[in-house]
Amino acid sequence: MHDLKGTLYKWYKKNKRDLPWRQTNDPYKIWISEIILQQTRIEQGTGYYHKFTEEFPTVVDLATASEDKVLKLWQGLGYYSRARNLHRAAKMITEQHRGIFPDTYAEIRLLPGIGPYTAAAIASIAYGLAYPAIDGNVYRVLSRYFGIDTPIDSTKGKKEFQELAEELISGSDPGMHNEALMEFGALQCTPKSPDCENCPLISGCFAYKMKQIESLPVKAKKTKQSHRYFYYYLIEQGDDCYLEKREDNDIWKNLYQFPLLETPKALNDRTIILQKIPFLPENSSCNFLSVSATRKHILSHRIIWARVIRIEVSKDVKIQAPYFKVNKKDISKFAVPRLLELFLEELNFEK
């Protein structure tokens, strides 16, 4: 194990990327980076990290911002519940910890949206506490190197990897150790076609010796994806159009969108044009301007098939709440799902 760690740390010092959150021990900034990077590539996440830390330099600044402002800044990252939890946690730190980020693993874990991995990353990097941060990269490195085929998404697997990771982190600089393992998985021991011939750990790697690189790590569960069919109505009234706020406990909660009709199956163009539009008052007429092509949008558990129906109504048509009128030029001020943002770019509404 000592040889593994020594070789790994030497590799890390030589190959680690120069990333902005590696230049600070501020737990707040480390936390921001970890939440942003949970499902985001470094290239994309770095820009969001700079935007967040410039707009909200301290946890109190984040806590006192409006949720709309936080969601707008998050727009494009997806998984909006993370942004809402970030905001809730900042308020909790401000109210319960006088704006000082908690410095124990147990207290960090109590914050909304922080699981074992994120808490361990913050505790080890910011405070030097010996908690192993086990993300997908770490599961992959440990599984391949030690030849562990217990599924990483099983209770038994999580316990086995946790015990091994705790043994490995012992006697090391915890923050550097965690970052080295994660970086090695991200750059060297990659999911597909890793460069094994130039790997410094090749001599001790079980998966390389046994030709099991492609089969490790093992995952037991396959995510089932459901299909949903979204029809957004861009209702134009002069220079204005209508929006609504998503308030149900569903994807994209508290984001804004055009009035939405969701159907159990896909509709053909004829049905779209002939059916009653539920957002318009009885007996009001409209002009159909266009029906967009279908856009496929993939989320972790769902595939959304979406279209935008662009219609025009006269000035005297009154559309009731929850729909509200905005000038088309002002749509960019509202936080919308990435799916709708792509449609808006096609319509030249997003500048």
What are the residue numbers of the active site? Answer: 34
Q: Looking at the DSSP assignment, which residues form a beta bridge with residue 244?
A: 257
CB 150, CB 158: distance < 8 Å: no
Q: Identify residue 111 by its one-letter amino acid code.
A: L
Between CA 273 and CA 43, with CA 226 as vertex, the angle to 5 degrees is: 100
Separation CA 75–CA 72 (nearest Å)? 5
Separation CA 37–CA 65 (nearest Å)? 22
Question: b/e string for 313-335 if b means 16 or more Cβ within 10 A?
Answer: beeeeebeeebeeeebeebeebb
Separation CA 129–CA 71 (nearest Å)? 32
CB 219, CB 151: distance < 8 Å: yes
CB count within 10 Å of CB 38 equals: 16
Question: Measuring CA to CA, how many Å separate 211 from each of 152, 158, 172, 206, 269?
Answer: 19, 24, 31, 8, 52
Separation CA 201–CA 11 (nearest Å)? 10
**What length is written for the chain?**
351
**Whole-angstrom Cα Rg for the chain:** 24
